[in-house]
Amino acid sequence: MKLELRGITKRFGSLVANDHIDLVVQPGEIRALLGENGAGKTTLMNVLYGLVQPDAGEILLDDEPVTIHSPRDAIRAKVGMVHQHFMLVPVFTVAENVTLGTEPVHRLATPAMKVGGLRIPPLGLPSVGLLDRRKARREVLALSERFGLRVDPDALVEDLPVGVQQRVEIIKALLRDARVLVLDEPTAVLTPGETEDLFRIMRELREGGRSIIFISHKLKEVQAIADNITIIRRGKVVGERPPSTSSVELASLMVGRSVQLRVSKEPARPGDVVLDITDVGVHGERGEQSVREVSFQVRAGEILGVAGVQGNGQTELCEALMGLRPSTGSVRLNGADLSHASTRDRLRAGIGYVPEDRSEDGLVGDFSVADNLILDVYDEPPYASGLALNLDAIRDSAVRRVEEYDVRTTSVETQAGTLSGGNQQKVVVAREMSRDVKLLLASQPTRGLDVGSIEFVHKRLVAQRDAGAAVLIVSSELDEIYALADRIAVMYEGRIVAFCPPTIPEEELGLLMAGGGTGSAAPEPGGEPETPVPAEEPSHD
């Protein structure tokens, strides 16, 4: 089905999210929408799907204008969408989720009867709505077979791995005969192997004349799968390019200026071992083991990057290291045993923590910037004397730090929750780095940030390393790992499956992250410093 968006404009207050966007997608085409976070890609697709009403513009399907006021209309118009955050009810089965809204029900009817001499055929009774589970199961399996999307109709969605959940979302769209399928950042949660699988499915779907819109900010994927790439920046279409276009050109279209893809840093000069963890294990919420016998060391003056696709235990590992989750094994900081210490004690012992989810765990949104800056030291001098807070000292120190870390805010009394993502992260970073930390633990430190903020955070992390701290970074962004890490540890299914130098080729790293292994997957021997790594990595295209 041919899709055309004409002049779509959408404002949120004073912010123009979509600015007269024109887009034409032919049947059987895979179109990539490329842009940074915040560029307007998802808003545009939300307009298409009826979740958001545009201020101007129209939508045409097969050259016919359509009005889409709600997802119902979009579904009826045969537009399907797989959202970034799945629209699946965790406690329902796959079949229930797929058929929600179009559930097959038992048709009740009177039996065929003979009265007098008359033959009365079965009369349909109003359906009382009893679910026909068997039919639902059959429908799901039929689609599953046809497109090679393996799912178990009776499994509970909450028990399924993310890659399978995504397949359920796709089947959901296909059940409603979607002819235009929108995939919003589908590979964010997939391993490289699962991504390949997804691409295969996309090509399969394309064969049937469906148009596919693939939203991403990942250059390489877009180049691999798209027939055509539309680049969006700050609400406007800034270009359309074939996939053969160079990464540099695509990146600069995305960002609007020429971007250096790497932060330059000095070689690492690792010193003594600061963090030494042995056999750390964590039981997840439902009893499964999310972290198994993880051991490694981080030295002063080096950055260890833990690479891995989300969901392989990294979150649990970080929480365990911070005492936010019970764990087995030993955790030692500069020789002191923190294995059973409370979060508070670990923070005071010199660990800085930049949590994965800054809005939930990193900041108290309702608190002022100043209060957030002392969130973990509020009861220490000079911020408090005894039971009483020293409001002046808090404020003065906040003013200094906001200046030093370039936090864009009108005042230190502004609520932290109203700041942009980048500035929020700067507050967290300012807080953790202003203390005397021996180990800095940063989990997904630049998730959701714009390029400028990413640069800022990366620079600060490197500076911390150069000042002699041990830095432990956990990230699922390979670019970040390559940019920052002096050594890489790969985490898969709760274990560290390999230690590698940052010179490792990306395909090999991707393979390790997916659970495949090569000979270099050996556990780290104790204590020997690595050879220094070169400052400029060869490009990885």
Q: Where in 399-428 is the site for another protein (CB under 8 A)?
A: 408-410, 417-424
Q: What is the C-alpha radius of gyration for the chain, rounded to an integer number of angstroms? A: 27
Cβ 467 to another protein shortest distance, Å? 20
Touching another protein, residues 4-43 (CB under 8 A): 10-15, 17, 37-43
96: contact with another protein by CB under 8 A: yes
327: contact with another protein by CB under 8 A: no
Give dist(CA 413, CA 369) in Å, integer.
6
313: contact with another protein by CB under 8 A: no
Cβ 343 to another protein shortest distance, Å? 5
Touching another protein, residues 76-95 (CB under 8 A): 81, 83-92
Binding residue for another protein, selected from 387, 519, 536, 539, defined by CB under 8 A:
387
167: contact with another protein by CB under 8 A: no
> What SS3 class is residue 291?
strand
Strands 180-184 and 79-82: parallel
Cβ 74 to another protein shortest distance, Å? 9
For another protein, give the closer residue by CB, 134 or 200.
Answer: 134
396: contact with another protein by CB under 8 A: no
Q: Are 436 and 463 in contact (CB under 8 A)?
A: no
For another protein, give the closer residue by CB, 109 or 130.
Answer: 130
Task: Mark residues 266-295: x for contact with another protein by CB under 8 A, - for none.
Answer: ------------------------------
Burial of 121 (0-12, 13-18, 19+ CB in 10 A): exposed
Cβ 51 to another protein shortest distance, Å? 5
For another protein, give the closer residue by CB, 389 or 521.
Answer: 389
249: contact with another protein by CB under 8 A: no
Strands 487-492 and 495-500: antiparallel
Give dist(CA 79, CA 295) in Å, integer.
48
Of the candidate spans 148-156, 241-249, 350-358, 502-510, the one that interacts with another protein by CB under 8 A turns out to be: 350-358
Cβ 36 to another protein shortest distance, Å? 9
For another protein, give the closer residue by CB, 1 or 51.
Answer: 51
Strands 228-233 and 289-299: unpaired
DSSP states of 427-446 as a string? HHHHHHHTS--SEEEEESTT
244: contact with another protein by CB under 8 A: no
For another protein, give the closer residue by CB, 297 or 443.
Answer: 443
- Beta partners for residue 31, in sequence order: 213, 228
Binding residue for another protein, selected from 206, 447, 465, 487, defined by CB under 8 A:
447
Give dist(CA 273, CA 295) in Å, integer.
13
DSSP states of 67-91 as a string? ---SHHHHHHTTEEEE-SS----TT
264: contact with another protein by CB under 8 A: yes
Give dist(CA 328, CA 20) in Å, integer.
56
384: contact with another protein by CB under 8 A: yes
Cβ 260 to another protein shortest distance, Å? 4
Touching another protein, residues 477-506 (CB under 8 A): none
Touching another protein, residues 140-159 (CB under 8 A): none
Touching another protein, residues 169-198 (CB under 8 A): 172
> What SS3 class is residue 189?
helix
Beta strands in 380-530 (DSSP E): 384-385, 388-389, 439-443, 470-475, 487-492, 495-500
Of the candidate spans 270-278, 356-364, 482-490, 525-533, the one that interacts with another protein by CB under 8 A turns out to be: 356-364
Give dist(CA 46, CA 12) in Å, integer.
13
Binding residue for another protein, selected from 111, 116, 126, 128, defined by CB under 8 A:
128
> What SS3 class is residue 31?
strand
Cβ 213 to another protein shortest distance, Å? 15
Cβ 515 to another protein shortest distance, Å? 20
393: contact with another protein by CB under 8 A: no
Give dist(CA 496, CA 520) in Å, integer.
12
For another protein, give the closer residue by CB, 86 or 272.
Answer: 86
Touching another protein, residues 450-469 (CB under 8 A): 450-452, 455-456
Residue 251, φ and ψ in degrees, nearest 5: -60, -40
Please enumerate, as own/partner, the contacts of 86-90 that have beta carbons within 8 Å and a separation of 24 or more: 86/165, 86/166, 86/169, 87/169, 88/157, 88/165, 88/168, 88/169, 89/157, 90/156, 90/157, 90/158
Touching another protein, residues 511-540 (CB under 8 A): none
Cβ 136 to another protein shortest distance, Å? 10
Q: Are 39 and 3 in contact (CB under 8 A)?
A: no
105: contact with another protein by CB under 8 A: yes
> What SS3 class is residue 374?
coil
Q: Are 341 and 323 in contact (CB under 8 A)?
A: yes
Touching another protein, residues 39-68 (CB under 8 A): 39-43, 46, 49, 51-53, 55
